[in-house]
Structure 1
Amino acid sequence: MEWFWYFGIYSFLGFCLEVLFARATHQSKRDRKCFFLLPLCPVYGLGALWILALPAPVRQSNLLLFFGSALAATGAEYLMSLFYERLTGVHFWDYRHLPFQLHGRVCLLFSIFWGMLGVGAVRVLHPLVAQFTALIPSFLWPLAACLLLLDGALTLVLLRRTHSTDILCWYRRVSRLPLRDS
């Protein structure tokens, strides 16, 4: 059950990091959602789980943790990109414009970032996340799992139908609707 919460928390923190990165770098695509309703980027959740699952000797050494985190998160990023491309026909990211990239799915620069983030997450953030998840009542797990699964299924159907991540930004269209006077 705690691994489910770790996935959700790191997916949410990844979403927040993506939004901050997009705004700091003045990117045109500032929305970084990967689900229709929930503000989550599951590649971060999966990457974090793989980093947390690294063997204890790897996690104990900062140098090994850096390289292990870089490999684990890069592997998660490659597989998630492949999953989205093959199943839905969408690309959430494309690194073809960067040097040392592989099929536009991963690149050396971001692998280095994942290594640094992994060390920071394991050394600083995860002890706090673990304490927080211990406080979550167990009855919330099935509700949260159902919400995640339903939103994930809806998201996959919509992405597969439209082949565009723009469908995830439904709130933009709602905010442009004219208000009616009563």
Structure 2
Amino acid sequence: MSFLTRLSGSIRPLTFTASRYYTSGAVVSEPLLARLKNDRKTFMKAKKQPDLNVVKGLLSDLLYYTKSANFVEGTPEEEALMSVLQKAIKRRQDSVSQFQAGGRPELAQQETEELKVLESYLPEQMSSEDIEVELKKLIEEIGATSGKDMGKVMKAWKYDSATADRKTVSEIVKKLLN
């Protein structure tokens, strides 16, 4: 009887699995991540350099975020990806306004094109009318009457910032409470 047979009772082959990619702390939503990676391949093959740079930058930002000190273990994967995506969009919007104020329309146009690529990865946005209807219901439930109750309304707002922009929501709340 060999040593292995005595040790385990039977000889079983050892199998090892190795993943092709190293993973970081967050597991990102597979469909959107897969879409980003497929788009990266497609843009490489089509030699669409501006779009490729945007997608590669987004994937890089995602990896950097998941390895940073700001990342909290156990954060839902969709939330981590949306956070990175929204920060990239906000950065582009700020750049567009600064370039326009500085008299650089060609750079503002480039940033606008990159912004369109990033926004294509966002889920469908709620319209201002839909937000207003939902807010009216919420204000009625809470019983908010003045601008002092804005914090209560914003805290009770249940929609993700990926589907309803928080800035738009706060502007509508101000309008409704004043």
Instruction: Give TM-score, length-normalised by structure 2.
Output: 0.29
- Name the larger-Rg structure: 2
Instruction: Give TM-score, length-normalised by structure 1.
Output: 0.28
